[in-house]
Structure 1
Amino acid sequence: MLYDWPRAAAFGRVIPKNKIYEHAGANTALKDLFVREVDQIVWSHKLAPETINLAATKSVAEIQVFRILQRESAVNQDVLRAIDRAIPFPLIFEMEHGGRIKLAAAYKRPSESDSSRWVLGDYFESDWLLENAFRAALPVALDMGTLYELLLSPLIEGQSVRLMPGMAEALQAPFIAAATMEPVPLEARIAHAEAIKAKTREVERIKARLAREKQFNKRVAINAELRAAKQELERLGGPSPTSLR
C-alpha cells in the first residue's frame, strides 16, 4: 500500500550523500554502496504536529518520509540503516526503481538507557507497485505514535508473504484469538515476526549444510538438528515443516 502524503507535509529537499556519510560515520565500503546503488535521496515529507495536526508522543515526535531513487533493483539494507542512523526521527522509505515503488521501514525507538540514541530493528518491505498506483489516505490516528504503528503494521504483515508461501497466515495466527481482546503491542508483533525470520534463516542454513555433507554419521546429526529447528519454527507459528523441505 502507498500513501497519499498530505500536501502540507511536503518537504522536497534533496539530501547530499556526503551529509549522510558524515552523520553515519560511513566507511569506504558503505560509501561504495551508496554510489553504486543510490541515485538520489529526497527528504520527501515531514509528518509532524504542525503539518498534519497530530500530537507528538514521547517516542515519536515526527515521522520523516525519504524517497530513495535506486540505480539498481535492490538496495543493501546497510544503506537504509546509515540513513536511519543519520536522522533522529522514525523514517518511512519510498524506494523507486524502473517505474515501480515500494515502502520500507524498520521499527525505530529511542534507547531506554540513552534517549539521544536510537534502536533499530529489522527492515520490513512492501511488494513493488507501479509508481502511479493508487495511494490511500493516511490511517486515522489520535497521535504521532499511533500513526507510526499504523504505517508499520502493513509492512510487518506483508513481509511474511515475501519470506515464504503461507507465512502471512502463520504470522497472524498467534494474534487471531486476541482480536477481540486487548490489541497486541506493535513491539510484540515485530519481535514475533523477527523470531520467525531468524528461525527460517537458521533452517535454510542447516539445510545447506546437510546438502553439502557426504558422511552418513554427520548427516544423521545434521538431520536431527534440522528437525529440532523445524519444530521450533512451527512452535513460533511459522511455515509447516513440509513447506521447508
Structure 2
Amino acid sequence: MILYEWPRAAAFGRVIPKNKIYEHASANTALKDLFVREVDQIVWSHKLAPETVNLAATKQVAEIQIFRITARTATLDPEVLRAIDKAIPFPLIFELVYGNRVKLVAAYKRPSEADSSRWVVGDYFEGDWLLEDASRAPLPVALNLGALYERLLSPLVEGQTARLIPGTGDSPATSGSATALEEPISLEARIAQAEAIKAKTREVDRIKGRLAREKQFNKRVAINVELRAAKQELDQLTAGTAGTAATKYQEDDHG
C-alpha cells in the first residue's frame, strides 16, 4: 500500500470544527460522543480540482477532497467518516493519522441516480498503516478527475479484499487462462464484489459463533449445514474475485 504526494497547488489546509460536521450531518448525541472520544482534529488538507491538478471534471466527480483526521484511538468508527462524507458534497479520500502512523481510508461515493443532490456512500476500504515519514508516490496518471478517483480507490479495494481471501498473496497470473479473456471489470463491480465478500465473511463468522455456543446435537447439525452453505457461497464469491484479479493483471502487464 502507498501514500500519495498531494500536489502543492492543491493544498488547502483548513481546520474543520467538529460542530460544522454535526450541523451538516444532523449528528445525534451518540455520534457527537464518538467524535469527542475518537477524533482530535479534522483538516481539509487538499482540494483536487481542475484548477489545482489540471484535470477535467466529470459529471460524477467535479472535485476530490482530501481530509486528514488526527485520531485519538487506533481504530476509528466508520460512522465518524460517514458523518464527514454526508457533510461534504464531493468524493473524499481520508488520511487517518494516529501516533506516527498514517493510512488511507475511503468509500466509493457517487451522486444518487434518484436525486442528484444526494450522495450514496458505500462501505469503507482501508489501506495498511505506514510510518508518517514514509515516501510518497506521485498521483496516478489519469485523463480526468473521474479516472483519478477510480485509480486512488482501486488499491484500497483490492488490498482489503485480498486480506479477506486466504492465498491471494500469490500472483494472479497463476489463475486459469480463461479469465484472462474476460471483459475488464469496472471499479463499481469490483467494489460490489468486495462488499459481498465482506458481508459473507461476517455471516460465516456469525454462524461459527452460533455453532461454538450451541450444545444440543440436533441444532449443531442444522447449524453445520448452514455453515457449509455459507462457506460455499463465500468460495464462489472469492473465485470470482480471483478471476477479476487475473484479468486486471493481464491488462496491467500487457496493456
What is the TM-score normalised by the length of structure 2?
A: 0.89
Partner of 2:141: 140
Contact 2:48 2:64 in 1 (8 A): yes
Please state how far the C-alpha of 1:237 moved relative to its aligned partner.
1.5
Residue 39, structure 1, aligned to residue 40, structure 2 = yes
User: 1:162-181 residue pairs with structure 2 within 5 A?
Assistant: 162-163=163-164, 165-167=166-168
Relative to structure 1, the CA distance from residue 215 to residue 231 in structure 2 (aligned partners, 3 Å threshold; closer, same or farther) is: same
Relative to structure 1, the CA distance from residue 28 to residue 175 in structure 2 (aligned partners, 3 Å threshold; closer, same or farther) is: farther
Contact 2:165 2:238 in 1 (8 A): no
Partner of 2:76: 75
Q: Distance in 2 between matches of 1:120 and 1:204?
A: 25
Residue 110, structure 1, aligned to residue 114, structure 2 = no
Contact 1:178 1:184 in 2 (8 A): no
Partner of 2:128: 127
Relative to structure 1, the CA distance from residue 195 to residue 7 in structure 2 (aligned partners, 3 Å threshold; closer, same or farther) is: same
Partner of 1:10: 11
Q: Distance in 2 between matches of 1:170 and 1:203?
A: 26
Please state how far the C-alpha of 1:175 moved relative to its aligned partner.
11
**Local SS of the residue matching 1:208:** helix
Gaps of 5+ in 2: 241-255
Residue 152, structure 1, aligned to residue 158, structure 2 = no
Partner of 1:205: 206
Residue identity in the other structure for 2:47:
K
In the TM superposition, what whole-angstrom CA distance separates every residue of 1:109-166 from its partner, at most 9, and x where no partner exists? Answer: 0000100000011000000000000100000000000000000000001112443543
Residue identity in the other structure for 1:31:
K
Q: Distance in 2 between matches of 1:108 and 1:168?
A: 28
Relative to structure 1, the CA distance from residue 175 to residue 135 in structure 2 (aligned partners, 3 Å threshold; closer, same or farther) is: farther
Q: Distance in 2 between matches of 1:88 and 1:220?
A: 50
Please state how far the C-alpha of 1:173 moved relative to its aligned partner.
9.1
Q: Distance in 2 between matches of 1:166 and 1:130?
A: 26
Residue identity in the other structure for 2:62:
A
Residues paired across the two proteins, number? 239
Residue identity in the other structure for 1:109:
R
In the TM superposition, what whole-angstrom CA distance separates every residue of 1:197-242 from its partner, at most 9, and x where no partner exists? Answer: 1000000000000000000000000000000000010011169xxx
| Aligned residues with identical type, % of pairs | 75
Relative to structure 1, the CA distance from residue 167 to residue 226 in structure 2 (aligned partners, 3 Å threshold; closer, same or farther) is: farther
Please state how far the C-alpha of 1:184 moved relative to its aligned partner.
1.2
User: 1:185-224 residue pairs with structure 2 within 5 A?
Assistant: 185-224=186-225
User: 1:57-72 residue pairs with structure 2 within 5 A?
Assistant: 57-72=58-73
Q: Distance in 2 between matches of 1:172 and 1:114?
A: 42
**Local SS of the residue matching 1:64:** strand
**Local SS of the residue matching 1:36:** helix
Please state how far the C-alpha of 1:181 moved relative to its aligned partner.
5.7
**Local SS of the residue matching 1:191:** helix
Residue identity in the other structure for 1:98:
G
